[in-house]
Amino acid sequence: MTVESLFPRLEALLPQVQKPIQYVGGELNSVSKDWDSVSVRWALMYPDAYEVGLPNQGVQILYEVLNERDHILAERTYSVWPDMEKVMRDNGIPQFTLDGHRPVRAFDVFGLSFSTELGYTNMLTALDLAGIPLYAVDRTDEDPIVLAGGHAAFNPEPIADFIDAAVLGDGEEIVLAISDVIREWKDEGRPGGRDEVLMRLAASGGVYIPKFFTVEYLTDGRIKRVAPNRTGVPWRTAKHTVMDLDAWPYPKKPLVPLAETVHERYSVEIFRGCTRGCRFCQAGMITRPVRERSITTIGDMVENGLKQSGFEEVGLLSLSSADHSEIGEVAKGLGDRYEGSNVSLSLPSTRVDAFNITLANEFSRNGRRSGLTFAPEGGSDRMRKVINKMVTEEDLIRTVAAAYSHGWRQVKLYFMCGLPTETDEDVLAIADLAKKVIATGREVSGRRDIRCTVSIGGFVPKPHTPFQWASQLGAEETDARLSKLAAAIRSDRNYAKAIGFRYHDGKPGIIEGLLSRGDRRVGRVIEQVWRDGGRFDGWSEHFSFDRWVEATEKALAGEPVDLAWYTTREREYAEVLPWDHLDSGLDRDWLWEDWQDSLEEDGAIEVEDCRWTPCFDCGVCPQMGTEIQIGPTGKKLLPLSVV
């Protein structure tokens, strides 16, 4: 049955809301397909406002991968701002997609990509606006399959009651496999209804269906066990890993936003995964192993992506872009090709070493030299060993000296506060380090206008990392430590004006901690917050810590668990963690040993990068049937026409 566009009704209402352009759709490279010509229909959502959601790489990739198939249609939807929510409720307009302005409820799958847990309340708004029951158990054959993906889906337990399914890992192949299962089931006349199609997905071992698992608890609040409650459902659900990035060169046609967005550039992922082994880094752990995109594919993607979009900026993305085995050739090849043009190149994520200065020189050929950013994460050498960030103070000073002597005036340094075993001294070491950075800059450049910005936020322990058992530092303790650091930076008049200080207070981190390591009981908290008006919790101006605290007390009353239990409590080896049945490939014992290694009293034991040393048995490759893929391939980005 054809589903009509809601746009005629919507259009008349748009003058009542701010930035109406974000609800209009029709961007360059967006796709509008005939509803009746396909058999499987996806509504894809990034649960944040258009300005944040549109540039999201994951959604753009899946949108294109799905729409390239003749029998599938994919449309996008984003979170509507509270003014629009009100207008929609007042006028009975349901959550709609931007491409066809079709009601989300009419689709077969409603897929949400969560890069942060703070988007959970926005999911509830979207479900409610769409007219889809909040709880998976209340849905009928008229409702889409609500599917969660993205990094947060590696522990979907806090939203287990609200979603029908979750997938872990790379989405390109699994969205097509899911589409095949749905198509087949529909072609057969939908036998067994909704549960049958969910059962078929669960049986594959690659799609997690929370309602097919029962969680039992011990009297002290810990989990006793998580077990399938139907025969045929595997005990564990595995993550997905795309092994040949060259075979998936997406986005080929990047979406060009109609309204201002957080990034307006063409982003090419130059590799996936990271094996540097930073113990706090969930992204590094859950995306293993490293798989590089070849230099020639990168070159082709950049050329084509710019042509298709008209963007003038290219971002080379990955978790640590300077680690690509041929990054020097990539930088030089692209630098040569676009020399003298308007195209600027950026390397958003880099490690701290002098090699980056050569790279930064290549990347800034056409543009001005904005700040260089490095992430030492820990303030002292001791702290950096604990987190396995193998950067010494000497390395850092050498790197910034190279930057300042090559003409850079501004360096940004990122740190975390509240790391395991951290003391005030470790954080105060950041002030000393920043002063040394300024002193070095002044010395090597002979100038006084050298600046350094220190950015610091609270550490949140994440599932599937060695720190998944760690206690999180409380919000008040985090704030107290950050205040001491601010005072230490300001105390020295010779440096105070040269050092910028940006910090995030500890409160949002505690809620992120609750949502990251929470179990199914936390779903009640999310719902309570949402019912109390919680929206856009990732935005500081909308986030209310008090609302979350009150909702937690209310929703967990009578339970032996509370906010502190989920956040500041250290876990023991034997405790069943809410995500233990979700398989990221990492060996649990290896994670535990790595956690213990970080706590060694004589100094943490460091782990090398398995790209350049023998495998240290983290478990991913044998468990997932994958392997590290790195160059050098010996291929050249050139011959390419130099612009």
Q: Is 268 helix (H, G, I), strand (E, B) or coil?
A: strand
Contact 289, 627 (CB under 8 A): yes
Q: Which residues contact 198 (CB under 8 A, 6 or more apart)?
A: 145, 164, 165, 209, 211, 212
Q: Which of residues 528-547 bind ligand SF4 (CB under 6 A)?
A: none
> Are 500 and 443 contacting, i.e. CB atoms less than 8 angstroms apart?
no
- Sole window of 7-15, 71-79, 190-198, 619-627 interacting with ligand SF4 (rule: CB under 6 A): 619-627
Q: Is 628 in the site for ligand SF4 (CB under 6 A)?
A: yes
What gap in Å lies between CA 157 and CA 229, rounded to an integer? 16
Candidates 119-127, 247-255, 409-417, 609-617 — which segment interacts with ligand SF4 by CB under 6 A?
609-617
CB of 243 to ligand SF4, least distance (A): 13
How is residue 194 written in tokens? 């909704």
| 202 close to 194: Cβ distance less than 8 angstroms | no
Candidate list 62, 182, 525, 610; residue touching ligand SF4; CB under 6 A: 610
Q: Which string of DSSP letters, residue by residue, matches 306-367?
A: HHHH--SEEEEESSSGGGSTTHHHHHHHHHHHHTTSS-EEE-----SSTHHHHHHHHHTTTS
> What is the C-alpha separation between 264 and 174, in angstroms, rounded?
28
Question: Is residue 285 near ligand SF4 by the rule CB under 6 A?
Answer: no
- Which CB, 7 or 592, lies closer to ligand SF4? 592
Burial class (CB in 10 A: 0-12, 13-18, 19+), 467: buried
| Residue 441 near residue 433 (C-beta atoms within 8 A) | no
Name the residue among 46, 1, 50 with its Cα closest to residue 25. Answer: 50
Binding mask 255-284 for ligand SF4 (x = CB under 6 A): --------------------x---------
Termini Cα distance of the chain: 50
CB nearer to ligand SF4: pick between 105 and 288: 288
What CA dihedral angle connects 422, 428, 433 and 439, to 10 degrees? 180
Task: List the one residue from 249, 289, 418, 441 that touches ligand SF4 (CB under 6 A).
Answer: 289
Report 141-170 residues binding ligand SF4 (CB under 6 A).
none
How big is the site for ligand SF4, counted in residues (CB under 6 A)? Answer: 12
Report if residue 616 touches ligand SF4, rule: CB under 6 A: yes
Min. distance of Cβ 316 from ligand SF4 in angstroms?
Answer: 22
In whole angstroms, the minimum distance from the beta carbon of 374 to ligand SF4 comes to: 25
Query: Exactly one of 199, 564, 621, 638 binds ligand SF4 (CB under 6 A); which one?
Result: 621
Q: In the bound complex, what is the minimum distance in angstroms from residue 626's beta carbon to ligand SF4?
A: 7
Cβ atoms 455, 414 nearer than 8 A: yes
- Using the rule CB under 6 A, which residue among 620, 629, 630, 637 binds ligand SF4? 620
Q: Is 243 in the site for ligand SF4 (CB under 6 A)?
A: no
Overall size of the chain counted in residues = 643
Q: Does 591 bind ligand SF4 (CB under 6 A)?
A: no
Candidate segments 159-167, 199-207, 419-427, 611-619, binder of ligand SF4 by CB under 6 A: 611-619
* Binding of residue 615 to ligand SF4 (CB under 6 A): yes
Complex with ligand SF4: residue 76 or 288, whichever CB lies closer: 288
Q: How are beta strands 291-292 and 271-272 bridged, if at all?
A: antiparallel
Cβ closer to ligand SF4: 407 or 622? 622
Q: Which is nearer to ligand SF4, 194 or 239 (CB)?
A: 239
Query: Smaller CB distance to ligand SF4: residue 32 or 623?
Result: 623
Q: In the set 604, 618, 630, 637, which binds ligand SF4 (CB under 6 A)?
A: 618
Cβ proximity to ligand SF4: between 300 and 609 the closer is 609
Q: Does 565 bind ligand SF4 (CB under 6 A)?
A: no
The C-alpha atoms of residue 310 and residue 306 are separated, in whole angstroms, by 5
- H/E stretch holding 253 reads none
Contacting residues toward ligand SF4, per CB under 6 A: 275, 288-289, 610, 615-621, 628
